[in-house]
Amino acid sequence: MYSDKVMDHFSNPRNVGEIENADGVGEVGNASCGDIMKIFLTVEDNVIKDVKFKTFGCGAAIATSSMVTEMAIGKTIEEALELTNAAVAEALDGLPPQKLHCSNLAADALHEAIKNYKEKHGE
């Protein structure tokens, strides 16, 4: 059902936690499945230096949160905005069709954090 990468990121999630005084924070949820994701960013010179997440949800939600943080670190704000829901699922070697909405939340939470960062910096 789940790929080895999904199971690895679920069992050993990367970048779990909160960043105090984060440069950007984004939170999204899906009422139909109950998943809630919150992503925190630290940005220096337009590059994402650190990303942390807190997720309440299923294994796929935790795995996609973990993967999107890994994908975002080191990218410019513009590059991170190009990360798509499909790219997150692909990086995990796919998700079952009924769990694809979870990858949508991870990319959306990242984009919301970037939006929050831009608002704080008058962009």
Q: What share of the chain is helix, strand, coil (3-state, %, to 5)?
A: 45, 25, 30
The residue that leads in pLDDT, 123 or 120, is 120
Q: Residue holding tokens 């009924």? A: 98
Strand order in the sheet with 35-44: 24-30, 35-44, 47-56
Q: Which residues are 25's β-sheet partners?
A: 40
The catalytic position among 22, 72, 102, 107 is 102
Give the model confidence (pLDDT) of 24-62 as tens digits.
Answer: 999 999 777 788 999 999 999 999 999 999 999 888 899
Average pLDDT for the chain: 92
What are 37's two structure tokens?
């994701």
58 is catalytic: no
The residue that leads in pLDDT, 87 or 85, is 87
The catalytic position among 16, 19, 33, 58 is 33
Contact 39, 48 (CB under 8 A): no
Specify the length of the chain in residues.
123
Which pLDDT belongs to residue 103?
Answer: 66
pTM of the model: 0.93
Which pLDDT belongs to residue 122?
Answer: 82
**To which H or E segment does residue 91 belong?**
helix 85-91
